[in-house]
Amino acid sequence: MQELLEISNLEAGYGLIKVLWGANLAVKQNECVVLLGVNGAGKTTLLKTVVGLLKVWKGKVTFDSNDITYLRPDIRIANGIAYMSELAIFPNLTVEENLKLGGYFKGDKENKKRMEKLYQYFPDLKEYKHKMGGSLSGGQRKMLGVAKTLMSNPKLVIMDEPSSGLSPKFVKRVIEVLNMFHEEEKVAMLIAEQNISFLDFAEKTYILDGGKIIFEGSVSELKSNNIIREAYFGITH
């Protein structure tokens, strides 16, 4: 199958500090990729560079066979990428307005339909739809972030730690919802996560370390790698 997103030899960072040292990564059409990496490895930096919040220093990013390395973020989004950052929401807008902005490129009618669908999975959001995003609890914000990202029907969803801070019930719920969109709308996903429950649904995994990809492979390959098991899952045998 064709590559949807392709990152090659990516270098980027903040000010004078280089964080990514030539990362390579690819996501195929309708593929689900989980990006692992210890704290500080540069996962957030990588995702931000892909959506254009950070400048690329060196390397190339292609999406849908277009070179998007130097495009503005909004154009990348318009081309079919949806992004959920770690903070994920508009604090001064209501929950409902947040969701609507998730579907910025969609019509009102379509937005309404999608919103109702997402409310079914996240009843809290429905209950608080007129509350300000910024007054929600940490976990509620994550739910809002996830739901907001799914409002548009993108080709590729990029999420930065969608499950952190969610209660176990909602971690399951989020995985369920992502799975559903993955199947129904053939969305490709690139998700930076630490929660191992996400592995069950990944088709490919990458491990980022020190700004470089040090592992690429399927979940079973990952799980059978002893060193990685020790470093990432704390399982020692």
Partner 1 sequence: MSLNNLMLNVEGLIKEFGNFRALDGADISVKEGKILGLAGPNGSGKTTFINVVSGVYKPNGGKIFFNGKSIYKLEPHKIVHLGLNRTFQVPKPLSGLTVEQNVKVAAVYGSKEGNTKDKINSALSSVELDNVKHKEASSLTSAQQKLLGLARALATNPKMLLIDEIAAGLNQHELKRIADMLIKLNKFGITMIVVEHLMSFLDILTDDVVVMNAGVNLFRGSIKEASMNEKVVEVFLGR
Partner 2 sequence: MFEYTVLAGIMYGLYFGLVGIGLNLIFGVMRMINLAHGDFIMLGAFLAYWLFHLFGINPLFVIAISCVVFLFLGIAFYYIFVPRLLKSKDPEMLSFILFFGLSQVIEAIIILSFGNNQRSIPSNTFGHSTFSIFGNRFPISWLIVTIVAIVVFIAVYWYFYHTKLGYATRAIMASRDESLVSGINVNRVSAFAFGIGLILASIAGIFSFFMMGAAYPSMGTNLTVISFAIIVLGSLGNPMGTIIGGLIYGLAIMFMQTYLSSWSNLLPYLLLIAVMLFKPEGLIGKTVRSA
Ligand X SMILES: Nc1ncnc2c1ncn2[C@@H]1O[C@H](COP(=O)(O)OP(=O)(O)OP(=O)(O)O)[C@@H](O)[C@H]1O
Task: Give the residue among 163, 138, 164, 190 at the shortest CA–CA distance from 32.
Answer: 190
Among 27, 89, 166, 177, binds partner 1 (CB under 8 A): 166
Burial-class residue 226 by CB neighbours within 10 Å (0-12, 13-18, 19+).
Answer: exposed
Q: Does residue 225 touch partner 1 according to CB under 8 A?
A: no
Q: Does residue 200 touch partner 1 according to CB under 8 A?
A: no
Q: 191 has which bridge partners?
A: 34, 159
Q: Does residue 53 touch partner 2 according to CB under 8 A?
A: yes
Q: Does residue 73 touch partner 2 according to CB under 8 A?
A: yes
Among 10, 34, 42, 88, binds ligand X (CB under 6 A): 42
Pairing of strands 3-14, 58-63: antiparallel
The secondary structure of residue 112, as a DSSP letter, is H
Q: 23 has which bridge partners?
A: 10
Binding site for partner 2 (CB under 8 A): 51-53, 72-75, 77-78, 83, 85, 87-93, 97, 100-102, 104-105, 132-135, 152
Binding site for ligand X (CB under 6 A): 14, 17, 19, 37, 39-45, 135-140, 165
Binding site for Mg ion (CB under 5 A): 44, 137-138
